[in-house]
């Protein structure tokens, strides 16, 4: 018995030199004790194709000319202009008291429209609250947005949601919900379902860098990595989580570097460069579907508007800062310069196009304002396929009280 024990001990001793702990099975051993510091890790590069003046970077593929082409490039620019004009008009409508709330995409048009253009139209989208441009790109008209903001009988949500909570089954766009980051684990769950079904659809989830500080993000991206789920994590890093600067929110090298720590492929992208955004999303989608693995893109951009109509960003950043980004980093201006340099766009046509779009939004808003509101009885609909007795009783009680 003693001899057997000695044999086991010697065998275990020999095994120690090759043992690998499950939590870090590929980690090499070293006798040097070094604390690794974040500052020692070089910053992740930011992929871009054209600079702020719309000029191609040396060695960059002319994605707009070689892949997109003139017709679609102009259509994308028009879509960005349409989004911009709708935002301007509905923001003004809120200030006039015509709608209760609004959030614009000012400064982030390329990140949203470029992402939408690189995805398939049947790809499932989980948005935060600044991605209504995806629905505009997928064909929703101004009536749809205005009806939702007014909460009338034509609103697909029957007036039950606050403005900006857009959703469309037809466009594979899950209804927006204000609580921060809740859509991220939902997207991972959807990807799990599609994987089990063998679907070719991709799942993309939008969120801001502020949402990446929520526990939902950590749980979701870890689950996607461990279970090999093809989710596209699209982080719009616009520098501010409402009033919290990114420098006050994290000390590491942004969100893309954080994803790598979870074992997720990641890339940092100039989100104000529509060609870089499109190419990156296209490649990330391809990688994700071909390998059944998640990917994260950190779309670097800047919000040139208030967080929402409830916010006053002058309280936490200077007018000079906002003006500098609005003038020098505008994604619309960058794409315009690219198109004009190739004689694909006449600047003289732009004012007329903008005026036409603005009038269409005004007309849609006027119609939405005059449409009746949903009746009180409709709030008992859509809870169950068949109303149970207790809900019927509640509906009856409310109806009788309102008649008094």
For the CA atoms of the chain, what is the radius of gyration? 25
Give the count of alpha carbons within 13 A of 163, CB side only.
22
Is residue 198 located within the same domain as residue 70?
yes
B/e letters for 343-375, b = 16+ CB within 10 Å, e = fewer, are ebbeeeebeeebeebbebbbebbebbeebeebe
Structure tokens at 341: 């340099």
Write the CATH number for 204.
Answer: 3.40.50.970
**How many whole angstroms separate alpha carbon 19 and alpha carbon 267?**
34
Burial of 237 (0-12, 13-18, 19+ CB in 10 A): buried
Is residue 330 located within the same domain as residue 348?
yes
Is residue 355 located within the same domain as residue 399?
no
- Tell me, yes or no, whether 291 lies in a domain: yes
Look at residue 2 in the predicted model and tell me its pLDDT: 47
Q: Which domain holds residue 70?
A: 39-373
Is residue 59 located within the same domain as residue 109?
yes
Look at residue 215 in the predicted model and tell me its pLDDT: 98
Look at residue 39 in the predicted model and tell me its pLDDT: 86
Our count of domains for the chain comes to: 2
Is residue 258 located within the same domain as residue 398?
no
Q: How far is CA 210 from CA 181, 248, 276, in A?
A: 9, 11, 23
Neighbouring residues of 177: CB distance < 8 A, sequence distance ≥ 6: 165, 183
Look at residue 19 in the predicted model and tell me its pLDDT: 86
Is residue 83 located within the same domain as residue 57?
yes
Look at residue 16 in the predicted model and tell me its pLDDT: 52
Is residue 358 located within the same domain as residue 379?
no
Is residue 379 located within the same domain as residue 344?
no
Neighbouring residues of 403: CB distance < 8 A, sequence distance ≥ 6: none
Look at residue 20 in the predicted model and tell me its pLDDT: 87
Look at residue 38 in the predicted model and tell me its pLDDT: 86
Is residue 294 located within the same domain as residue 378?
no
CA 284 to chain centre: 14
DSSP strands (E only) in 65-159: 124-126
- Taking 50 as the pLDDT cut, the residues of the chain under it are 1-2, 4-5
């Amino acid at each position: 018995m003693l001899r057997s024990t000695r044999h086991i001990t010697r065998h275990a001793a020999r095994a120690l030199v090759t043992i690998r702990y499950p939590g870090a099975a590929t980690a090499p051993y070293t006798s040097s004790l070094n604390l690794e510091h974040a500052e020692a890790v070089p910053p992740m590069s930011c992929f871009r194709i054209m600079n702020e003046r719309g000029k191609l970077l040396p060695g960059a593929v002319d994605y707009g000319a070689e892949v997109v082409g003139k017709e679609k490039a102009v259509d994308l620019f028009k879509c960005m202009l349409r989004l911009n004009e709708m935002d301007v008009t509905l923001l003004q409508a809120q200030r006039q008291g015509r709608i209760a709330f609004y959030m614009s995409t000012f400064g982030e048009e390329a990140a949203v429209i470029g992402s939408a253009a690189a995805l398939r139209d049947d790809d499932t989208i989980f948005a935060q609250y600044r991605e209504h441009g995806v629905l505009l790109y997928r064909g929703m008209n101004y009536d749809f947005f205005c009806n939702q903001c007014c909460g009338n009988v034509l609103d697909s949500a029957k007036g039950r949601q606050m403005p900006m909570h857009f959703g469309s089954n037809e466009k594979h766009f899950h209804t927006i919900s204000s609580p921060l980051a809740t859509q991220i684990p939902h997207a991972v769950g959807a990807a799990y379902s599609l994987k089990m079904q063998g679907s070719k659809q991709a799942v993309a989830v939008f969120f801001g860098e502020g949402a990446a500080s929520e526990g939902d993000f950590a749980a979701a991206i870890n689950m996607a990595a461990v279970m090999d789920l093809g989710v596209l994590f699209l982080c719009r890093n616009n520098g501010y989580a409402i009033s919290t600067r990114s420098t006050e929110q994290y000390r590491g090298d942004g969100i893309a570097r954080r994803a790598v720590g979870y074992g997720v492929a990641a890339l940092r992208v100039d989100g104000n460069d529509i060609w870089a955004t499109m190419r990156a999303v296209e490649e990330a989608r391809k990688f994700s579907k071909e390998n059944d693995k998640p990917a994260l893109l950190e779309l670097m951009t800047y919000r040139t508007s208030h967080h929402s109509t409830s916010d006053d960003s002058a309280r936490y950043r200077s007018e000079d800062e906002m003006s500098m980004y609005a003038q020098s980093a505008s994604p619309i201006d960058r794409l315009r310069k690219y198109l004009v340099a190739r004689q694909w766009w006449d600047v003289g046509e732009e004012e007329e196009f903008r005026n036409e779009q603005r009038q269409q939004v005004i007309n849609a808003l006027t119609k939405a304002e005059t449409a009746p509101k949903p009746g009180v009885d409709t709030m008992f609909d859509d809870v169950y396929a068949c109303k149970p007795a207790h809900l019927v009783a509640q509906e009856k009680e409310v109806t009788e009280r309102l008649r008094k």
